[in-house]
């Protein structure tokens, strides 16, 4: 009987232990989040956090949920009634939270049923946040437009990544302009095109607002500058006989109007036999309507003497305001005599006799007499013999831009600071045409527009120097015809941009493989107020990110060399690099893109000309072997406009695009050349 009682006690003990073990094994607290573990709705958003135990257990205070931080907040935790087997809280995820996986933690105290005691612990749940693409609005053309009063510009607005459903509502705004057709417009498509007419002179801002569901975004177009020519002219030129002064209206390479004949330059009281102008200048005294013209006569036997004439803006009150022996005791005749007006009203005269350059200046004073004085000048690089034809213009920060041409196919740009006691000119660029062939025209004039773009005149028209091509072949920049006009000679403007579109000249920019690094190197031929460089890398040629920084020299007229070593990704076949130049005032420019081919590919390079273009493009592609390539043109929103497949042969290949471009809208686009071994991307512009 005792034995039986003892065995019974043992059995009860074992049963109690097993029961306790089972109770412990069944009291795991679980955690979850709702409505979904993967959050794809637009931010900000709220989610419910829930922690539970089975009905035989209870969660006790203090039970609380905590979030992962980073701006994510969790409200107060509440327990369910009754058995308290559930603890809930609301988490708020703010807008701007990066995509990723976030862990939320429940700290709990729970009581086992049947007097099993209490225990504490934590339970976690994760929420994956997938941030939707950012809604965006784009509008083309994206560059500044210059037109004459009464003309129209066609704009296209495109919505991308708008959430929700239903139609898109486009509302166009341009105060003072006439908008064709219905406005606003409700439609199912993501793009809407409007023609806007500008009846009066002035600067217009074109804005479009797009609404779809809860998404409401606006974007502002580039400025449309409307001119009532010739009253708003910003360039002046002398005609083929050197006497007729005429006006042009241009903005950033876009021709608006001209030439409009204003008056005939005369030479009263001259001591020379001059009968035509050798140089033309215009100051900013009193603005466009009230400024003064200055010009120099074109004389062959001048013995170094230069005379200066002036008139009002309409050509009245013509007066000889000064005469000066530029080369002193030297009696050599000056074959090169050019004039440029500075932002402070100073007139600068650059002259040369084929072997020596001379510089002089005077303070303009309307049609009143001026005093002319000599300024020491030297040539840091280049040759004096190049200064047979050309002109000078002055920027707002008092830098001189001298255009020199030898009459035999050499045309160069020289720069220097006029703020120094001795002015040093250095050759910066050689001009080439849009096929990168040396510019062969005889250059007569150079001038700025208000945006810092440079223009030149030749015997056959007005040309635009395209700053976007300054980092093409080393030491060159392209120029393209803006308006065909025979006989144009000197050129002048009365705007003085703080900085030209050519503030820095890259002599070379390249990337080569050096061990396990990509060695990115570049040379600047000149720097003006340059603060630093940022090296940007891309694996697809489209999306770039900053990978390096280099401080710049700041201001330099001599070659400066830079380099940066970037570790090569183990799985990269082609790495794209570009250089971003940031000036002291915060303005920036981006170089061409260079491709570093890690394991060698067939296409070595490609070039597009003309660029900007009107109705056709030539694509020159250099290949190492026969390979199939796709030429693709997209707008800045990624929509494909041209898609053409070609078979490349070893060597140079030229593909002409014409009919494919007929429906291409004006503005900036991306051209991509892709093969099975990589792709290459370049920006192109349609006028």
In angstroms, the CA 539 to CA 572 distance is: 7
pLDDT at res. 463: 92
Estimate the share of the chain in helix, then strand, then coil, as percent rounded to the nearest 5. Answer: 5, 55, 40
3-state secondary structure of 644: strand
| Dihedral sign of CA atoms 618, 622, 627, 633 in order | negative
Same domain, 569 and 542: yes
> pLDDT tens digit string along 559-608?
778 989 888 865 667 788 888 888 766 667 777 778 787 765 566 667 78
Decide if 615 is inside a domain.
yes
216 versus 455: the higher-pLDDT residue is: 455
> pLDDT tens digit string along 462-503?
999 876 676 555 578 888 888 888 888 899 988 887 666 565
Q: What are phi and psi of 453, to 5 degrees?
A: -80, 150
pLDDT at res. 10: 47
CATH code assigned at 8: 2.60.40.10
585 versus 392: the higher-pLDDT residue is: 392
Residue 9 confidence (pLDDT) above 60:
no
Domain boundary among 227, 250, 282: 227
| Dihedral sign of CA atoms 528, 533, 537, 538 in order | negative
Decide if 404 is inside a domain.
yes
Same domain, 121 and 141: no
pLDDT at res. 17: 43
pLDDT at res. 55: 64
Range of the domain at 588: 503-600
Q: What angle do CA 403, 405, 406 make, to 5 degrees?
A: 155
Decide if 444 is inside a domain.
yes
Domain boundary among 77, 105, 129: 129
In angstroms, the CA 665 to CA 189 distance is: 17
Same domain, 518 and 469: no
Same domain, 191 and 306: no
Which of 476, 520, 473, 480 has the alpha carbon at shortest distance from 502? 476
Which of 582, 620, 594, 608 has the alpha carbon at shortest distance from 471? 594
Residue 265 confidence (pLDDT) above 70:
yes
Same domain, 594 and 617: no
pLDDT at res. 526: 66
Same domain, 217 and 142: yes
Query: With pLDDT > 90 as the criterion, what percentage of the chain qualifies?
Result: 21
Same domain, 521 and 469: no
> pLDDT tens digit string along 238-264?
886 667 888 887 866 777 777 888 888
Same domain, 452 and 324: yes
Same domain, 566 and 439: no
Query: With pLDDT > 70 as the criterion, what percentage of the chain qualifies?
Result: 82
pLDDT at res. 604: 65
Distances in Å between the alpha carbon of 187 and those of 91, 164, 184, 300?
Answer: 38, 14, 10, 69
Same domain, 482 and 528: no
CATH code assigned at 351: 2.120.10
Residue 122 confidence (pLDDT) above 80:
yes
Is residue 672 within 8 A of residue 656, CB to CB? The reply is: no
Is residue 167 within 8 A of residue 215, CB to CB? The reply is: no
> pLDDT tens digit string along 78-98?
888 777 888 899 988 887 777
Overall domain count for the chain:
5
Residue 191: which residues within 8 A CB-CB, separation 6 or more? 156, 157, 158, 159, 639
pLDDT at res. 3: 47
Q: What band does 15 get if pLDDT is binned at 50, 70 and 90?
A: very low
Decide if 498 is inside a domain.
no
Q: What band does 423 get if pLDDT is binned at 50, 70 and 90?
A: very high
Decide if 497 is inside a domain.
no
| Mean predicted confidence (pLDDT) in 544-572 | 79
Decide if 333 is inside a domain.
yes
pLDDT at res. 600: 54
Helices (H) and strands (E) in the chain, counts: 1, 54
Highest mean pLDDT among 38-47, 244-253, 281-290, 487-496: 487-496
Residue owning tokens 């600047």: 524
pLDDT at res. 20: 41
In angstroms, the CA 106 to CA 120 distance is: 11
Same domain, 245 and 328: yes
CATH code assigned at 680: 2.60.40.2550
Same domain, 399 and 252: yes
In angstroms, the CA 326 to CA 211 distance is: 67
pLDDT at res. 664: 84
Domain boundary among 194, 227, 260: 227
């Amino acid at each position: 009987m005792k034995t039986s009682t003892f065995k019974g006690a043992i059995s009860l003990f074992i049963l109690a232990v097993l029961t306790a073990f089972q109770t412990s094994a069944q009291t795991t607290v679980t955690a979850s989040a709702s409505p979904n573990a993967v959050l794809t709705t637009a931010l900000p958003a709220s989610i419910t956090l829930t922690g539970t135990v089975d009905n035989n257990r209870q969660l006790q205070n203090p039970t609380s949920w905590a979030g992962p931080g980073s701006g994510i907040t969790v409200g107060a935790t509440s327990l369910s009634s009754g058995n308290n087997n559930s603890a809930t809280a609301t988490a708020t995820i703010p807008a701007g939270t990066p995509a990723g996986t976030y862990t939320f933690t429940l700290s709990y105290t729970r009581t086992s049923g049947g007097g099993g005691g209490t225990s504490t612990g934590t339970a976690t749940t994760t929420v994956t946040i997938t941030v939707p693409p950012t809604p965006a609005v784009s509008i083309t053309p994206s560059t500044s437009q210059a037109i004459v009063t009464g003309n129209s510009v066609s704009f296209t607005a495109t919505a991308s990544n708008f959430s929700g459903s239903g139609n898109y509502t486009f509302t166009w705004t341009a105060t003072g302009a006439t908008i064709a057709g219905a406005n606003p417009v409700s439609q199912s498509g993501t793009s809407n095109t409007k023609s806007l007419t500008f009846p009066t002179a002035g600067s217009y801002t074109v804005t479009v607002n797009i609404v779809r569901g809860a998404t409401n975004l606006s974007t502002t177009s580039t400025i449309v500058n409307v001119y009532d020519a010739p009253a708003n002219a910003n360039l002046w030129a002398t005609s083929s006989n050197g006497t007729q002064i005429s006006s042009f209206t241009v903005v950033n390479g876009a021709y608006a109007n001209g030439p409009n004949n204003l008056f005939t330059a005369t030479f009263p009281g001259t001591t020379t036999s001059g009968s035509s102008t050798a140089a033309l200048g215009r100051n900013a005294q009193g603005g466009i309507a009230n400024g003064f013209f200055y010009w120099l006569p074109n004389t062959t036997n001048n013995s170094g003497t230069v005379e200066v004439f002036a008139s009002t803006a309409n050509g009245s009150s013509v007066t000889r305001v000064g005469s000066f022996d530029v080369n002193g005791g030297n009696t050599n005749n000056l074959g090169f005599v050019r004039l440029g007006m500075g932002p402070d009203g100073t007139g600068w005269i650059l002259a040369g006799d084929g072997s020596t350059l001379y510089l002089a200046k005077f303070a303009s004073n309307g049609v009143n007499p001026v005093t002319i004085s000599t300024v020491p000048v030297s040539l840091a690089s280049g040759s004096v013999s190049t200064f047979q034809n050309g002109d000078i213009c002055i920027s707002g920060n008092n830098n001189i831009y001298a255009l020199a041409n030898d009459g035999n196919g050499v045309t160069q740009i020289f720069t220097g600071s006029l703020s120094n006691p001795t002015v040093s000119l250095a050759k910066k660029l050689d001009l080439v045409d849009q096929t990168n062939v040396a510019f062969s025209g005889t250059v007569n004039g150079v001038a700025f527009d208000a945006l810092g773009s440079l223009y030149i005149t030749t015997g056959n028209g007005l040309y635009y120097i395209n700053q976007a091509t300054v980092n093409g072949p080393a030491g060159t920049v392209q120029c393209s015809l803006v308006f065909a006009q025979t006989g144009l000679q000197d050129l002048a403007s009365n705007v003085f941009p703080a900085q030209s579109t050519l503030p820095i000249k890259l002599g070379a920019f390249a990337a080569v493989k050096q061990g396990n690094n990509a060695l990115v190197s570049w040379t600047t031929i000149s720097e003006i107020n340059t603060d630093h460089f940022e090296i940007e890398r891309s694996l697809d040629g489209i999306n770039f990110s900053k990978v390096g920084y280099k401080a710049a020299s700041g201001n330099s007229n001599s070659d400066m060399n830079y380099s940066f070593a970037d570790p090569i990704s183990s799985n990269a076949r082609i790495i794209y690099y570009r250089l971003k130049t940031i000036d002291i005032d915060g303005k920036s420019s981006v170089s061409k893109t260079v491709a570093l081919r890690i394991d060698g590919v067939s296409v070595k390079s490609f070039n597009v000309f003309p660029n900007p273009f009107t109705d056709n493009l030539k694509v020159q592609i250099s290949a190492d072997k026969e390979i199939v390539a796709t030429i693709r043109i997209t707008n800045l929103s990624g929509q494909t406009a041209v898609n053409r497949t070609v078979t490349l042969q070893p060597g140079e290949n030229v593909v002409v695009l014409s009919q494919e471009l007929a429906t291409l809208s004006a503005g900036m686009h991306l051209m991509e050349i892709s093969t099975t071994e990589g792709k290459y991307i370049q920006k192109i512009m349609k006028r």
